[in-house]
Amino acid sequence: MIYTQTISRLTLLCILVFALARCSHESPAPKSPVVKSDVQSPALKSRPEKSISQLGAEMQQAGIMSQKDYIKVHSLQLKTRDTHRISEEDFAWTLSFLKTSGNSMARARAMTALTYIHPMYSARKARITSAIAPFTNNGDPLDAAYTKRVQRSIHNN
């Protein structure tokens, strides 16, 4: 009986680890400029899909980031996810945005774009490490999670 329970627990643990590993390699950002809802509620299903501009306006209204910044960060996420490259101008803008942003949700979106850069050269790794350092242990759980994600990306590059 104990043997069977141990095997069952190990099997479940393996399935969970596999699922988590698979999720960490999938890109969370949508490919299209329209966000689709995963929610199964009939009331929410009837809502029209929102454009990136509308989502940016909502982010601005909520005080997270400006609509212009949301559109830029979203565009950078898509571009870096698809090409694994980022121009020096966009890279510098992203690091500057991290330093000036007062919201962890906004920083998380910008940090996501940085995780897609491959290969990541030493000079850029150092600049990213310096830019995310203030958020590593600032007490915000979202900042902590995304700085760890960026650090893993730097380490694996």
What pLDDT is stored for residue 89 in this prediction? Answer: 97
Convert the pLDDT of each residue in 62-96 to its tens digit: 999 999 999 999 999 999 999 999 999 999 999 99
Q: Which ranges of 62-103 would DSSP assign to H, the alpha helix?
A: 67-83, 88-100
pLDDT higher than threshold 90 for residue 44: no
Among 7-11, 46-50, 104-108, 142-146, which stretch is predicted with the lowest mean pLDDT? 7-11
In this prediction, residue 47 carries a pLDDT of 60
For 32-55, give the DSSP string: SSEEPP----HHHHTSPPEEHHHH
The whole-number pLDDT of residue 50 equals 86
Q: How far apart are CA 11 and CA 56, in angstroms?
A: 43
Tokens standing for 153?
Answer: 């990306």
* pLDDT for the residue numbered 107: 97
Q: How confident is the model at residue 51 (pLDDT cuts 50, 70, 90)?
A: very high
Mean pLDDT over each residue of the chain, to the nearest integer: 80
Long-range contacts of 70-75 (CB under 8 A, 24+ apart): 70/106, 70/109, 73/97, 73/106, 73/109, 73/110, 73/113, 74/29, 74/109
What does the pLDDT look like over 106-126, one tens digit per residue? 999 999 999 999 999 999 999
Give me Rg for the CA atoms of the chain. 19
Whether the pTM exceeds 0.75: the reply is no
Residues of the chain above pLDDT 70, percent: 69
**Residue 46 pLDDT level (bands cut at 50, 70, 90):** low
Q: Tokens 């509308």, residue? A: 54
